Structure 1
Amino acid sequence: MPERVIAIGDIHGCADAFAAILKLIEPTQDDTLVVLGDCIDRGPGSRRVIELMLDADDRCNLVPLFGNHEEMLLAAVDRPGTAISWLSCGGTDTLVSYGVASAQELPREHLLYIRTWKDYYEIDTHFFAHGSYNARVPLDRQEWGYERWQSLRDRMPKAHRNGKTAVVGHTSQKDGEVLDADYLLCIDTYCCGGKWLTAVDVSNELLWQVDAQGQPRDGRETPVPVPNRENPSK
């Protein structure tokens, strides 16, 4: 099988969905899986999501990106006084999944792993980030601590100066559909809100979608072409 580069949208603790989409993808050592961040919080299975990521890292080239929820988690670990913000945004669900009472009690292995996650990733044709980007600034000079928080509903960036297609998450598409602005794909399709977890093979422009229980959309276990959506206001 030729090498594939596959992006996975915001998981938000939906471990059954993540496990199911990995099963559909069947990643191999030749594949790169880019997980776009916000893997934790809100859903019931944050611990299992991290465990699945560690397991998948042994089977393929897994590239996890740092989301704003991972940022809040590490802030709660390093500065306990900030924990209330994280807890109110789904952090409580993460603690419950681990069976602990505070961020400081989370497994050291998992915290060290999250600290290794990247701000962005790029290939010849695409680049990947959690939230947004500044179209005028080279990727290695972006203020990712700012951009990962930016909603596409507030500011839709233009095509990046590097000419590559952006693949992002963070801005949940409440209708469950991929936002396709030609030069940008947003694949946070609101799994934790009752819609879908989306994975996109950017090499072949194909996607998989499953719900929070891991059921494929419309019963489709094989990928389908990425639909064209040119309405960035959604």
Structure 2
Amino acid sequence: MPRLLAIGDIHGCYKALVTLETFVEITPEDTIVTLGDYVDRGPDSRRVLDWLISKDKTHKLIPLRGNHDLMMAQSRNNQDHYDRWLGLGGYAALCSYSPNGKADAGTLENVPQSHWNFLSNRVLPYYESDHFIFVHASYDPDVPMSEQEDYFLYWEKFSYQPRHASGKVVVCGHTSQKSGYPIRTDNAICIDTRAYGSGWLSCLDVESKRLWQANQFGETRKFFLDDVC
């Protein structure tokens, strides 16, 4: 039976990503909602974007925009944005593109056009299914998703918000959980489990609440959300 799967913040952790893909046994029939922050901090941003672009051609991929993806896209033509991005994890992303492993000023030129197109034109601000809202960061509970401010979509931290006016449960990332476990309320679930910081990359089947995790060491584990939070 096809599943509706959400994958948390990847942050350049390609080994965790491909380990998770195999562990979950993702198929082309599944719908995969990636919650953003594909780049920065981890060692393999380039390979993560290659994976996403490839899956976009063969699977039902719904890629959302994270604040780090937004910063990378904005850095291309703005020195202030570039400098800020480097200080917030962009250095690691540039290293993944550089032939010599250094994030010097010329490495932006090594980013393929397909990656710029993906970051600027393909990623989405949010996604809604019949019962769930998917977003990178958070939401204003009283505002339709089509009218949400960028701050809520990309920057606001997870909090104990009221349920969204639509009545749907929100699935998000962005607020990394050092425990390695998701955090949830009756109204929202955050599955950023700090893949880049010796934590775990999480994939949630939103209907069954089964959750799979993998890390950069190739380790895996799975459980039901109700058993841990």
Q: Please report the TM-score for the alignment, with normalisation by the length of structure 2.
A: 0.91
Local SS of the residue matching 2:58: coil
Q: CA deviation at 1:226?
A: 1.2
The residue that corresponds to 2:34 in the other structure is 35
Q: In the aligned structure 1, how far is the partner of 2:75 from the partner of 2:110? A: 11
1:112 lines up with 2:117 in the alignment: yes
Which whole-Å deviations, capped at 9, do the CAs of 1:144-168 have from their partners, x for residues lacking one?
344310112xx43211011111000
1:14 lines up with 2:13 in the alignment: yes
Which whole-Å deviations, capped at 9, do the CAs of 1:119-151 have from their partners, x for residues lacking one?
000100111000000000011111134431011
The residue that corresponds to 1:103 in the other structure is 108
The residue that corresponds to 1:3 in the other structure is 2
Q: 1:147 to 1:4 in 2, by over 3 A?
A: same
Q: In the aligned structure 1, how far is the partner of 2:55 from the partner of 2:217? A: 20
Q: In the aligned structure 2, how far is the partner of 1:27 from the partner of 1:174? A: 26
The residue that corresponds to 2:102 in the other structure is none
Which whole-Å deviations, capped at 9, do the CAs of 1:15-70 have from their partners, x for residues lacking one?
00011111122222221100000111000010110111122223320111000001
Which whole-Å deviations, capped at 9, do the CAs of 1:83-104 have from their partners, x for residues lacking one?
1110011111111101163434
Structure 2: where are the runs of 5+ without partners?
Answer: 100-105
Q: In the aligned structure 2, how far is the partner of 1:54 from the partner of 1:80? A: 27
**Residue among 183, 200, 204 paired with 2:204:** 200
Local SS of the residue matching 1:57: helix
Q: In the aligned structure 2, how far is the partner of 1:167 from the partner of 1:146? A: 14
Q: Is the 8 A contact 1:197 1:209 kept in 2?
A: yes
Q: Is the 8 A contact 2:98 2:110 kept in 1?
A: no
Structure 1: where are the runs of 5+ without partners?
Answer: 218-222
Alignment of 1:8-157 (within 5 A): 8-99=7-98, 101-115=106-120, 116-152=122-158, 155-157=159-161
Q: 1:96 to 1:56 in 2, by over 3 A?
A: same
Following superposition, which runs of at least 4 residues in structure 1 exceed 4 angstroms of deviation? none
Q: In the aligned structure 2, how far is the partner of 1:135 from the partner of 1:103? A: 38
Q: In the aligned structure 1, how far is the partner of 2:130 from the partner of 2:35? A: 18
The residue that corresponds to 2:103 in the other structure is none
Local SS of the residue matching 2:57: coil
- The percent identity for this pair of structures is 37
Q: Is the 8 A contact 2:137 2:175 kept in 1?
A: yes
Q: Give, as a single letter, the amino acid of the residue that structure 2 aligns with 1:57.
A: D
Identify which range, 47-56 or 142-151, moves more after superposition: 142-151
Q: 1:103 to 1:80 in 2, by over 3 A?
A: farther
Q: 1:164 to 1:225 in 2, by over 3 A?
A: same
Q: CA deviation at 1:82?
A: 1.9
Q: In the aligned structure 2, how far is the partner of 1:84 from the partner of 1:64? A: 26
The residue that corresponds to 2:194 in the other structure is 190
Which whole-Å deviations, capped at 9, do the CAs of 1:94-117 have from their partners, x for residues lacking one?
111011634344111111011210
Q: In the aligned structure 2, how far is the partner of 1:73 from the partner of 1:156? A: 29
